[in-house]
Structure formats: C-alpha cells, structure tokens
Amino acid sequence: MEDRNTNVNAKITHHIAVYAFPFGSHGSPLLNIIRRLAALAPRNKVHFSFFSTPNSINTLFPKGSKFDVDCPNIKAYEVWDGKPVGYVSKGNPLEEIDLFLKAVARPGALKKVLEEAEENVGVKVSCVMGDAFLSYLLCDLALEVKVPWVSCWIPGEHSFCVHVYTDAIRQRFGTQGIEEGREEENLDFLPGLNKIRVKDIPDGIVTGNIDSPISQLLHKMSQVLPYASAICLSSCEELDPIVTNDLKSKLSNVFAVGPLSLVVAPSKVADTYNCLGWLDQQRPNSVVYVSFGSVATPTPNELFALAEALQASGLKFLWSMKDHLKVHFPNGFLESNKENGMIVPWAPQVDVLAHGAVGVFITHFGYHSIIESIAAEVPMIGRPFLGDHKLNGRLVEAVWKIGLKVEGGVFTKNKVVKSLDRILWCDEGKKMKETIKNLNNVVRKAIAPDGSSNKNFKLLLELVMKT
C-alpha cells in the first residue's frame, strides 16, 4: 500500500484537508482559522484543501471561484449536501442538517473527495482538520488514511466544555427529564462552571430531544475527542483560564486561537443601506441596535412586543431584519417611526456596533455577536433561542456582567423597556460599560502580536507541519 505522505510534488510538503460544517455561522470562522494558518505557513510548501457544500462555498469564496483571494494556497472542493434532485427547502434547517450528515456518513464519502484533492494537488494529505461537529467522522477518516486529526470548536469554550462533560452531566442529572427544582442547580462539580445552571446548558444533553441528530453528533464528538492530535478553540485563554486549563488537562494540545472575529480582520463589506450614514446623525450612545443573526427569529408575538417597546422607549433604533417579517409589526408602526428608526434587511454589524452612536445591542446571544459586542464595548440585552444561546446569555449576565437576559426569556413590551432603562439610564448600565471595557482590554492583549492567541496559532501550525 502506498504511503499516504509520499511527497509527489517537490514544492508542496504538507497537504491539509479541512472539512466544514456548512450551517449557521460555522463555515466562516473555520475558514478564518485556515486563512490565518495559510498566511503564517510557507505558501509554496503548505496547501489547504477546504471541503464544504456548494452553497457554503459560494458564500465563503468569491463568486465563481474556489480559490481564496488573499491565500492562493487554499482551494475549495465540493461535498454533496445530501439533497435529492428536485429538493425544495421547507425552511427547516434541522432537516437540511440531517440530509447532509447522512450524505457525509456514507462509506467512503469523505475519503472520495479527499482523494480528488490529492490528485489535483499532487501530494497526499498529511493532516485532517475540521469542525468539531464532524469529529466522529473525521476521527475515522484520519485513522483510515493514517494521518493526525485536528478538531476545531467554533463557538465558545464554555459550550465546548459542557459537551465534553456530557456523560458526567447525564450521570448527575439523568436523561429522562429534570426533577422539579433541579434545573436551578449549578454545575459546580465542573471547573469554571459554578455559575452555570442546568437550565442554561444546551438542549440535547439532559433536556430536550437527546436522540436528535445534533444531540447524537455532539455526544459522539465528546467520546472521540481524546483521540484528536489537537483541539483548536475559537476563543482566547484569558476569557476563562479555569475552563481552558481544565480542557488542557483532559485533551491533547488545546490551542485557543481567538476570538477569531478579532484575530482575523473581517473583509470590508459595503454599507448597502447607509446604516453608518444614518448613525452619523444620531447622538452618542443613544441608538438601540437590533439583530438576531441569520438563523434565529422571534415569534410574531415577540416581534410585535419588541416593536411596541422600542416605540414606547422613545429611543432611536437600527433594526436588521428581513422584509417579510414586517407584517408582524403593530399597525402604523413603520409610518410613525420613520424619523426614530431605521429598519434594513442587512447591516454591517461589526461597523455598526463600533459606531459611537450605538448604546445597546438587542441580540440572540450568538457567541460571535457577543465577541463583536465586547470588542465594541456595547452592553447587550439578549433573548436566547437555540444551541448555546442560553449558556452564552448566562455568561453575559451572571459571569461577565456585561448585559441582561430579557426576563422570562421572551420579549414583552414592559420587560424590554425595563431592560433598556437599566442599561441606558441606571448606574447598573454604567458599571456594565466599565466592565465590558475591561473585558475588551483582556481580549485585545490576547490577540496582540505577542499575545496568547497568536502564540497558539504558531504552535498549531508547528504541530500541523510536524507530520
């Protein structure tokens, strides 16, 4: 049998295969990790083959191209998304995830595209990297082709930690439903999670459907991670050294290389709807920015209540939301708020949050949105929806103390107005501003040229190139 690491091409010495989980906000951060590694590596010696679905590739790479603009040593290859011919989306992302997972789990599916890249590059793959959501598949692939495997966790280290400890949490609380009152218990038996409650952890561990495809995928991840050659975290060590050090004691070569949205400068995006021009006309710290990412959407009743709250507050607001959702606004809301508010289908979030006019961010508590808010020093009001949102919200409110989770976890007019008052007009809000500024300074030190994140990137590249 031919050695997988035979150098067929005299120039390229290392060929890294990278597999993305092509849903939500997973693809872009993983590509940013690879871009950073590709920029640090000798371009004529290290090549990265990036595998994802056609739709994901079209989003991440220049239209019509499968090469990265800034890093020519990255090339994209298509993986089948599992959708049959004539498939029509029903708007259910879980269905599309299930189709994809079944497609990539077919015997030989991942190896086939790997071999296609090997033939194209002319060099055998020397290392497999990929989204931790695909760990159980990538572990098997790496074993089959006899190369090291690096698992990349895209959200925060706290959510990673609770998934790593899934079996321990299940042993403590069971999987048949939480006994009354126990949902308030803290995870104080896990290092660094003493303020996280059972009700804060993602569904699929001890609550919700533990047999769902995502739950099973993440449980399998927790079981195979000890076999990974390295773990790459998209956070930085300084955000919670207790959690990071505990992970280092349990797993091999844990490298915290983030926050990625700050380590890798985002591509400049066009301000299509002149959001920044509108913000230029507003007073400092006076605008409420509202956005729930690309997946989460409040219920019609909550959209109605949030609109009522913004109008009742009298505050200026910039709201990023799809046009078809406007039908859920109160009658006359759009007409009566032409001067007070701006509603756009999309906003350049990083630039918006960094604008001095923005005083508070109403969000879904997505991890990357939280990091962008910390970087801009803007306190948050959050309504968690799915995945790690509840856990992230608990961190924001009870651990870092840089924002509030809306009372009861759903938007009502009075609760939103109350939260806005607490942040914008009370001493509590002033303290949050000071705290988030200090937290931003911690993060900025981590991503400085001599900071821990850049050091870890170099260590990660060294490990990848040792193969």
CA 216 to chain centre: 19
Q: What is the Cα–Cα distance from 214 to 229, expressed in whole angstroms?
A: 24
Positive/negative CA dihedral, 130, 133, 134, 135: positive
Judge whether 26 counts as a catalytic residue. Answer: yes
Q: Are 116 and 51 in contact (CB under 8 A)?
A: no
Q: Are 34 and 14 in contact (CB under 8 A)?
A: no
Q: Which member of 14, 15, 81, 131 is catalytic?
A: 131
400-409, long-range: CB within 8 Å, 24+ apart, which pairs? 400/435, 400/436, 400/439, 401/431, 401/432, 401/435, 402/373, 402/374, 402/432, 402/435, 402/436, 402/439, 403/361, 403/373, 403/379, 403/432, 404/379, 404/380, 405/365, 405/381, 406/381, 406/382, 409/383, 409/384
CA 324 to chain centre: 26
Q: Tokens 């048949």 — which residue?
A: 176
Judge whether 388 counts as a catalytic residue. Answer: no
> Which residue type is seen at 135?
S
Any residues with CB less than 8 A from the CB of 309 and at least 6 apart, and which?
411, 412, 413, 414, 415, 416, 417, 420
Q: What is the Cα–Cα distance from 15 to 18, expressed in whole angstroms?
A: 10
Q: What is the Cα–Cα distance from 47 to 222, expressed in whole angstroms?
A: 29
> Which residue type is seen at 4?
R
CA atoms within 13 A on the CB side of 8: 14
Q: What are phi and psi of 23, to 5 degrees?
A: -135, 155
Q: Which of 111, 99, 101 is nearest to 140 (CA)?
A: 111
**b/e for 439-463, b at 16 or more Cβ within 10 A?**
bbeebeebbeeebbbbbbbeebbeb
| Strand extents, DSSP E, 276-326 | 287-290, 316-320
| Strand extents, DSSP E, 257-352 | 287-290, 316-320, 341-344
Query: What is the token pair recorded at 333?
Result: 């809301």
- The DSSP code for 340 is T
Please spell the DSSP secondary structure of 213-239, one letter per residue: HHHHHHHHHHHHGGG-SEEEESS-GGG
Catalytic residues: 26, 131
